[in-house]
Amino acid sequence: MIALYPQPTSVSAIRSPEDARCCEGCEERILAAKRELSASTTAVGRRFGARAATLAASRWIERAESATAPQVDGYPNWRRITITVAYQLAANQLLLHGVLVSKGERC
């Protein structure tokens, strides 16, 4: 897959597969994180442009590196991180356009 938008590369949570020799399965988890980040960034970029894609990638990485990142079996849950970031970006877009509904209401 060719990345359509700039991808941040200096991230401790998404090291290169060569550095993943620390534990069994780390290489697979790192590749999964890279795929999830790339797919998420590409989707945002196609819908909202390169600026939003860069912001989404930065937020995704911040969330992945945070101590409160959702985990499964002691490892970050990349899909949950993507969903959280997408929700935050959607809420920001709704606020920007003055359309945000209060908690509990349906759109």
Give the tokens for residue 106.
Answer: 């349906």
**Rounded Cα distance, 78 and 96, in Å:** 27
Q: Indicate whether 71 belongs to any domain.
A: yes
Q: Indicate whether 8 belongs to any domain.
A: no
Tokens 């550095």, located at residue: 19
Q: Indicate whether 31 belongs to any domain.
A: yes
Q: Which residues of 38-64 are buried (b: 16+ CB within 10 A; e: fewer)?
A: bebbbebbeeeeeebbbbbbebbbebb
Residue range of the domain that includes 89: 17-96
Q: Indicate whether 66 belongs to any domain.
A: yes
Q: Indicate whether 67 belongs to any domain.
A: yes
Give the tokens for residue 84.
Answer: 């959280």
pTM of the model: 0.66
Q: Indicate whether 2 belongs to any domain.
A: no
Per-residue pLDDT of the chain (107 residues; tens, 9 = 90+): 344 444 444 445 455 555 545 666 778 888 889 999 999 999 989 988 898 899 999 999 998 888 777 788 877 889 999 998 988 888 887 777 766 555 555 44
Tokens 């590369």, located at residue: 9
